[in-house]
Structure 1
Amino acid sequence: MKNLLLLLLAFSSFGQTKIQILDSVTRQPVSYANIWNEKQIIRNSDSLGNFEVVIADKKPLKITAIGYDEKVIRSHQSPILLKPVSYQLQEVVIRKPKNTNPIVVTKASRNGQAFFVQYDVKSVCVVKLVKGDTKQKFLKSVAFFTQTSARNRKIALIFYSVNAKGEPGELLNTETIVCNLKKGTKETRVDLVDYAIELPKEGVYVGLQHLLIEDNKMYSHDKNATPLSYFYEPGLYFSEDSDSKDSWCFYDEKWKLYPTRSLNLGVELTD
């Protein structure tokens, strides 16, 4: 009995506990927040703001979410309250798209290889440079192919500015745009007219972020596999292209250029 008790205690010390992230003002769940361990995103909160941590892991975690101040936690107390970002309003003129003369810049493609995210996450964000036209300066839509083994996998659409070096700069999203994906190899198209995203001369980086949530996990069917044998869906398609040099991934707290790969994105602009 004593040995059994010690065994149970040993297992419980490596168990997990659920933590919820809430808006500090409204007390509503903060969906799909990023949870960082040192230099990389290790998981996301789900649609109800929940995520799990290993009880025995005492390392501090950083929480970031679009529209909120980041927060570092050093304990596993729940809930975690995130403070909404206070924006100082200025007198600016926001132009709206006329949407009368759309043009297709590139078409979505499933050519090339589909890449997934492994359980030992290294990079979850990939972006591609998109430039405007003299007349069509607004993003009308973005389309992409994904490969999934189940329905309702999810991925987030992200936008970054172009900095002085031509690299991805500041995150431009003011809200989290989550896409629900169909099973199989399917195209997803996102209408962006209502977001009024006007492209400056240097362009904008448009991309996708894998969401590290339970609903996106694909477990191995190998009976001899370890419990860690899973990866995150969906698979994203890249073309082998050594000339474009237009796609970047976020790795080890830095953006790094893909030297020979280009993210397959379909882009439509409008006036």
Structure 2
Amino acid sequence: MLKKINFSVFVLLSTTVFSQTQIKVLDAENKTNIPYAKIILKGKDYYKNTEQNGDVTLEKDEEIDHIESFGYENYYISQKDNIYFLKPKFKDIEGVEISKPKFTQSYIIGSLKEDNFGFMSGLRTWEVLNFFANKDKTEKKFIKKIKILTDVKKTKQDAVFNLVIYENVEGHTGTEKLKNIVVTCKKGKNITEIDFSKNPVTFPKEGLFIGVEWIMNEQNHYQDKITVIHSDGTKEKNKIVDRVNPWFFGYTSPSANTFGRTSDNIQSSNNQHYKFANAHNLSIEIEITN
């Protein structure tokens, strides 16, 4: 009897293992791991990210369309493999003005206020962006510091997310990110701070779209139990759902300017797909200096 049980367990484990594929994403120049690369899947409304070691596990029904990572060329899959090499993206920059902040004056835009509203992600995710206008165009300005109110739940390790910055092109985001910074946030509710004092980011007169993007990997994944209220009024208790850390707080504002973005399409919070975000801002505070 014991042998039969062990054999059954082996068969179960074997079926699970062979229904999955492990792949690795590496830098084509130096062959180092690329952490948190974005794996875009064919026919899916979600994506996956590699872990810190550049690995990601694909299920049997998941097939890669292409791989994205900030600072690298997109890699479109023509042939299946277990290792993919991404080429660094180099841009020729001419006539760049190099200037340093004076740090003699600073002011705050945005707010860390909160109410009972927040932004979260299930397996399907999106970017949440606030637009920050530059109201003082008399002198060149820089971003010195960004603070975001985060909450990391039910995890034994720190969570990570992408801080994303886009240029403002006639009221819409640019086609490519200006900056993508992987940020670590601690377990529990915290003010997560990103310091740019050593490498300040220019705050242009057109303003910037600044926000967050979830990293969809095992490091951030957890399961939660919720009560679902159905349309007929019945309740389904202790339903297990997949969640992705962290939770980002928001607050009600008469001058809300939050945007949601999926698959490179930005939409106003007034759009029906983002109606729950309407009249709210992301709880994010930015220190601007001269």
Could you say whether these structures have the same fold, taking a TM-score greater than 0.5 normalized by the shorter chain as the test? yes
Spell out the pairing of 1:8-19 with structure 2 (5 A cutoff): 11-12=15-16, 15-19=19-23
Consecutive unaligned residues in structure 1, runs of 5 or more: none
- C-alpha displacement at 1:220, in angstroms? 2.8
Q: What is the letter of the counterpart of residue 71 of structure 1?
A: Y
Query: Which of these residues, 213, 221, 224, is aligned with residue 209 of structure 1?
Result: 213
8 Å Cα contact 2:41-2:62 kept in structure 1? no
After TM superposition, give the deviation of residue 201 of structure 1 in Å: 1.8
Q: Look up the SS of the partner of 1:11 in the other structure.
A: helix
CA distance in 2: counterparts of 1:183 and 1:67, whole angstroms: 29
Please report how far the alpha carbon of residue 269 of structure 1 lies from its aligned counterpart in structure 2 after TM superposition: 0.4
C-alpha spacing 1:105/1:115, structure 2 compared with 1 (3 Å) = closer
Q: Note if 1:269 corresponds to 2:281.
A: no
Contact 1:62-1:71 within 8 A present in 2 as well: yes
Q: C-alpha root-mean-square deviation of aligned residues, in Å?
A: 2.8
Structure with max Cα Rg: 2
CA distance in 2, matches of 1:170, 1:98: 31
Name the residue aligned to 1:130.
Answer: 132
Q: Aligned ranges for residues 123-162 of structure 1 at < 5 Å? A: 123-132=125-134, 133-134=136-137, 135=139, 137-149=141-153, 150=155, 151-162=157-168
Structure 2 runs not aligned, ≥5 long: 227-236, 271-277
> Quick one: percent identity of the two aligned structures?
23
Q: Give the conservation status (yes or no) of the 8 Å contact 2:115–2:252.
A: no
1:114–1:238 Cα contact (<8 Å) kept: yes
Query: Any idea what SS the aligned residue of 2:219 has?
Result: helix
1:151-206 CA distances to partner (integer Å, 9 max, x unpaired)? 41111111001112x011143445x4222112211111111233332222210111
Structure 1 CA distance for aligned equivalents of residues 37 and 214 of structure 2: 12
State the Cα deviation string for residues 137-161 of structure 1 (Å, max 9, x = none): 2111111111112341111111001
SS in 1 for 2:103: coil
Deviations 1:215-248 (A, max 9, x none): 111213589756xx3110111112233x424211
User: How far apart are the structure 2 equivalents of 1:37 and 1:161?
Assistant: 27
d(CA) in 1 for partners of 2:208, 2:21: 39
Alpha-carbon separation, structure 2, partners of 1:9 and 1:116: 33
Moved beyond 4 Å, runs of 4+: 7-10, 38-41, 221-226
Task: Verify the 8 A CA contact 1:131 1:199 in the aligned structure 2.
Answer: no
- How many pairs were matched up? 262
Matches within 5 A, 1:1-271: 11-12=15-16, 15-38=19-42, 40-54=45-59, 56-57=60-61, 59-73=63-77, 75-119=79-123, 121=124, 123-132=125-134, 133-134=136-137, 135=139, 137-149=141-153, 150=155, 151-164=157-170, 166-173=171-178, 176-220=180-224, 229-241=241-253, 243-259=254-270, 260=278, 261-271=280-290
Q: Which amino acid aligns with 2:182?
A: V
Superposed displacement of residue 76, structure 1: 4.4
Relative to structure 1, is the Cα distance of residues 10 and 173 closer, same or farther in structure 2, using a 3 angstrom cutoff? same
